[in-house]
Each structure stands twice: as C-alpha cells, then as structure tokens.
Amino acid sequence: MVIASPIVLDATIASAVRIKGAEAANVPPGFMRFYIEADVEALIRGPGAIPPRVGYVLDAPVGPAGRAPRYRKARVLLFARPVPGDPTQIQLTGPNSQRAFDPELDSLTRRISRELVSPDAPPVVTGVGNAFHVAGSLPGEGETQVFLTTQDNRPVSLNILRRPGEEPRWAVALSEIVDDSAGPPQRDTLLWYRLACALPRALPARSTQALEPADAAIAQQDYRFVLQQLGPCRRAPTSAY
C-alpha cells in the first residue's frame, strides 16, 4: 500500500457526511459512501507540502444493525494519491486505504516510506535468471547461487551454503560481490517484500538447464529452502475503518 500511494498521511477525521442518491449509485452492497474531511497530523510520504485539512470519498462497510459507522475524531492512516488541480482533495488508492491508527502499523509505514526513497533501496525483482551449484569436498557440502532479474538490471543474487551436519545458511547479495557477512533480509522490510512477493514458487527449468541433473536437484532444493525461510507474501490482518 505504501508503494502504491504517493501520499501517506497520519490524520484525525474532523467530519463525515454520508453521500446518497445518484452520487452513491455504484456503492457495493453492504457499504455506505461518505465525504470525509480530516486534519493532517503528519505527512509520512508525499511529493511536497499538503494543506492542514484534506477531503476524500470513502466507501465504508455498514455497521451493526445497519447503522452508519462513526468516524468523527478517529485517528487514521490514509494511503492516497493527489487529485489533479485541487491540493485540498485526495483519492484513496484502494479498499482499506483508510486504516485505524495503530503504533505498530505507523512505525512500519514510516520505515517502508523511508526505505522507498533511500538511495540504496533494493530493486524491483522481476524473476529468476540462472542458477548454479558447486559441490564441496565433503558429502552434503556445497554452495548454490541463484541470480535474479530486476527492473533496472541491478544485480541481486541468492546464495545458499550447506555444510554437513549444519542447517543451511543463506544470504542475499545486492551487488556483484557476495559479502560473507551478509544474511537474509529482516521480515517486513522492503527487501523482504521484494523477494517474498515476486519470486516464483520453483526455479524455472531454464535456470538449471546448464547443470547436471544431481546439481539441478540440489539447486531446486536450496531455492525451496529460501522460500520457506522468507515465508508467504501476505497482508497481515490490520484493523480498517
């Protein structure tokens, strides 16, 4: 949501007016449409200055017993895009783009926003290139390297090291030089997201076509190990208004 939203705000709702009639004709069943004005507490991400109060349209689920939800004075995180020609208006980028404020979500949102604009932000991963495996001198010892393709052609590789009697160790390299001190990305970082949400569930056959069958099988096994360590790409349940 941070990536898709040029504007991210910490705000407090000042007013919420229900929209009815023709302007609400396409509201999904079980939802109500509101025009909301919110006071900006902080600009977390944005192209520049933003007015102290912004307005936007929200389709919200109907409350218990068909009652309208109450929003006034609620603190929220807003994920939005600007409305051309009107700096006082924003457009939410999708469903659940108004989130109930939560300190943990706020901290994560701010961290990802900083990572996105960092000069060394990880590239967008688009797929898997070639994979190689080199057996070691001992049975069960070896190293696998999987090269990834990226949107801007920056180098990224996965490196898996196996030693007899030990748990495999893996790391991700963001340059052509593999740093022996590097390790896996931390969970819920931008690099973790780029990998967990973009990598295919198995190595493509073309990635291992130059390998002997035994080495190709180990490379596939090592790749699956990396996917298991990354965990699934899924949105954590977060309360939304």
Strand 31-45 and strand 53-61: pairing? antiparallel
Distance from chain centroid for Cα 13: 26
User: Is-contact 108 114, C-beta < 8 A?
Assistant: no
* 140 phi/psi in degrees, rounded to 5: 85, 0
**For residue range 20-76, what is the model confidence (pLDDT) as tens digits?**
999 988 998 999 999 999 999 999 999 888 999 999 999 999 888 778 888 989 999
- What is the rounded (10 degree) CA torsion for 26, 31, 35, 38? -140
Share of the chain above pLDDT 90, in %: 80
Q: How far apart are CA 146 and CA 156, in angstroms?
A: 9
User: 3-state class of 171 per DSSP?
Assistant: strand
Domains of the chain listed by start with CATH number = 7-117 (2.40.50.120), 125-230 (no CATH)
